[in-house]
Amino acid sequence: MTENLFDINVKVAGQGGDGSLTTISLLGNALARRGFHLYSTRNVASRIRGGHAAALLRGSIEPRTGMGDNIDVLVAFDAEAIEIGGYRVAPHGFVIYDSSAGPLPNGFLPEGATVIEIPFGRLAVRDLRRELFKNSLTFGVISRILSLGDDEAASVLEARFGGRPKLIDKNLQALREGFKLASSSGFEEDSGPLRLARVEADERVFISGNHAAAIGFLAAGVRFFAGYPITPATEVLEVMNRHMEAFGGVSVQAEDELAAVNMALGASLTGVRSLVATSGPGISLMQEGIGHAGAAEIPLVIIDAQRAGPSTGMPTKPEQSDIGMIIHGGTGDFPRIVLAPGNPSDAFELAVKAANLAQRIQGPVYLMLDQSVSQDSATTAPFDISGVEIDQGARLSQEQLDALDEYRRYKVTADGLSPLAVPGMAGGMSLVTGNEHDEWGKVSTNPVNRIAMMDKRARKVDTIKDSLPSGLRFGHDTSPIGIVGIGMESGVIREAVERLTVAGIALAGLQPRTVWPVPADTLEFVASKERVYVVEHNHEAQLIQVLASVGAPFNTLRSIRKFDGVAFTPGELVDHIATAEAE
């Protein structure tokens, strides 16, 4: 008797433009109707069309933000898909191979895998006059393997193409042909070798980190955005261009990153909450403008959707190698805050906090994503827009400004937060410059003034540090062994901790959400453990360097890192830690 599946990993791969995402989206819809949580990612080349491309989907009863160890069903539209992804097929997994692309390559699949060879591309062209219909043919076969009812599969397909009536009939025809192909391979309706469970599901949205962050910023009152297309941050620009006008704001596609950051600084000076979004190469270009925000105390939020570097690097691959640049980049010393979401829910929440924190410290705040968090999609509870609060910080009303004997924009205060009047307010005239300045904004190189201003700016972050987002703990808090990871590592380390617990190795986990300044709860966590595994995607263990630089005991920290553009699997972490603990 076939057992119900509660966790399944599927990969559809071929050449860019093959339509792999269509098959994955159809399957995702089917899984969602069964009550599964979804996680979806892609492996694509940095090119417009062609080159190896793959779409991956995980459906699970428990929410996950990462793929599992093995692929249960691999759809390969060409031999390259087998050669690249065959090693990850589960020992008793299923491989659906488009034999119109040539013979199945030997030596890349586990011995126990079941291979179904069907010339999908050739059949689609012969019978349906268009090769892209091979995706619906394939979905018919997958549906039978997963014991989906034929009517259930047809309903999923109709929902997918409901907005394009001309495509429905042809795709339904392709689906039915797919059912026949499955029957000829021995897979009948509702009696396949795998069977998806069906569970009750709460209300969810399926969304990427980029989209979630953009919604968070709109909800938090951001009304000016400037950006330049760059992988993997471009979706933020697309969302803002599409929706900002409806909120009474302005979204601009600038000619480059230099223009974008300076446009945002100008908008922020007028009192408008402003945002820019880019990736590592763009951050490099924006450094002078971000430093200006620090010196002139201009609120600004910067999204850095990290990708593999250096230089152009690998634009479509994930990495966390901008940490050092974000925390210490720019000329001179100026305060900044760096927040790091680990999933779409985090991205929404921390976007709101970032928008408010920029106003509170009157300076730059980074929302540090990575390619996985930015572009991968996951199910999450709907966002609570009604709970969003707007914090204006030390912004003055006209009444408060009128009550001052004298307006000093950069007044030295005990908490470092100076009064801020929007240009144009009566009595609110001030000078704004990137040079060192006195309380009125006049350029000054006086040593006493310099010390006072540097200390004042530094105090701003100290004043609000207790309100910075705290880390999320999980696992066994009293364990002497800890594990830490941010961004894309957040989901995989949680799953690894669950598995290690079953194996008899208890770990305490921490996902820091404020990376800089390093909060007390992060340092306390590290100090309370005999050893702490720090999981990150970069070559130089940049997160460990940050922790050690502020007092975390270096001999306590154990580095687990990758920099090959491929995410960790839970099994990799489990094996690494179990081996290390056995030594």
Angstrom distance (rounded) from CA 552 to CA 559:
14
What is the predicted pLDDT for the residue at 13? Answer: 95
CA–CA distances in Å: residue 53 to residues 78, 84, 373 = 11, 10, 19
What is the predicted pLDDT for the residue at 540? Answer: 97
Q: Which stretches does DSSP call E strand in 230-294?
A: 250-253, 274-278
User: What contacts 131, CB < 8 A, 6 or more positions away?
Assistant: 121, 124, 125
Same fold, 206-386 and 472-582: yes
Q: How does the average pLDDT of the chain come out, rounded?
A: 95
Angstrom distance (rounded) from CA 455 to CA 462:
11
CA 103 to chain centre: 38
Mean pLDDT confidence for 521-548: 98
- Taking only Cα atoms into account, the Rg of the chain, rounded to an integer number of angstroms, comes to 26
Tokens of 337: 């805050």
pLDDT-derived band of residue 265, with 50, 70 and 90 as boundaries?
very high
- The CATH number of 206-386, from 3.40.640.10, 3.40.50.880, 3.40.50.970, 3.40.50.720, is 3.40.50.970
Residue with tokens 């126990």: 112
What is the predicted pLDDT for the residue at 16? Answer: 82
pLDDT of 125-155, one tens digit each? Answer: 999 989 989 999 999 999 999 999 999 999 9
Question: Does 49 have pLDDT greater than 80?
Answer: no
CATH number of 4-196: 3.40.920.10
Tokens of 466: 């207790």
What is the predicted pLDDT for the residue at 156? Answer: 96
pLDDT of 315-329, one tens digit each? Answer: 999 999 999 999 999
- The helix (H) or strand (E) run that includes residue 145 is helix 134-145
Question: Does 354 have pLDDT greater than 90?
Answer: yes
Say which CATH architecture domain 472-582 belongs to: 3-Layer(aba) Sandwich (3.40)
In degrees, rounded to 5, the angle at the alpha carbon of residue 506 between the alpha carbons of residues 501 and 511 is 95
For residues 510-538, b (16+ Cβ closer than 10 Å) or e, as one string?
A: bbbbbbbbbbeebeebbeebebbbbbbbb
Mean pLDDT confidence for 557-570: 97
What is the predicted pLDDT for the residue at 132? Answer: 87
Residue with tokens 């996950």: 64
Tally the C-alpha atoms within 13 A of residue 167's C-alpha that lie toward its C-beta. Answer: 13
For residue 224, list its beta bridge partners.
250, 274
Angstrom distance (rounded) from CA 214 to CA 222:
9
What is the predicted pLDDT for the residue at 208? Answer: 98
Q: For residue 53, how many other CB atoms are within 10 A of its CB? A: 24
CA–CA distances in Å: residue 228 to residues 245, 267, 321, 364, 498 = 18, 17, 21, 19, 41
Q: Which stretches does DSSP call E strand in 137-283?
A: 195-196, 205-208, 224-227, 250-253, 274-278
pLDDT of 3-13, one tens digit each? Answer: 789 999 999 99
Angstrom distance (rounded) from CA 440 to CA 429:
9
Q: In what order do the strands lie in the sheet with 71-76?
A: 114-118, 89-98, 71-76, 7-15, 52-60, 37-44, 377-380, 205-208
pLDDT-derived band of residue 47, with 50, 70 and 90 as boundaries?
low
pTM: predicted TM-score of the whole model, two decimal places: 0.96
Question: Does 90 have pLDDT greater than 70?
Answer: yes
Question: Does 48 have pLDDT greater than 70?
Answer: no
Mean pLDDT confidence for 109-129: 94
pLDDT-derived band of residue 166, with 50, 70 and 90 as boundaries?
confident
Angstrom distance (rounded) from CA 321 to CA 564:
12
Angstrom distance (rounded) from CA 157 to CA 139:
9
- Are the C-beta atoms of residues 558 and 534 closer than 8 Å to each other? yes
Angstrom distance (rounded) from CA 539 to CA 479:
28
What is the predicted pLDDT for the residue at 17? Answer: 77
Mean pLDDT confidence for 286-298: 98
What is the predicted pLDDT for the residue at 1? Answer: 52
Using H for helix, E for strand and C for coil, what is the string for 307-367? CECCCCCECCCCCCCCHHHHHHCCCCCCCCEEECCCCHHHHHHHHHHHHHHHHHHCCEEEE
Mean pLDDT confidence for 506-514: 98
What region, left, alpha or beta, does residue 541 occupy, with left being phi > 0 and alpha being psi -120 to 50 degrees?
A: left
Structural domain spans, the chain: 4-196, 206-386, 398-454, 472-582
Mean pLDDT confidence for 391-408: 95
- Are the C-beta atoms of residues 482 and 529 closer than 8 Å to each other? yes
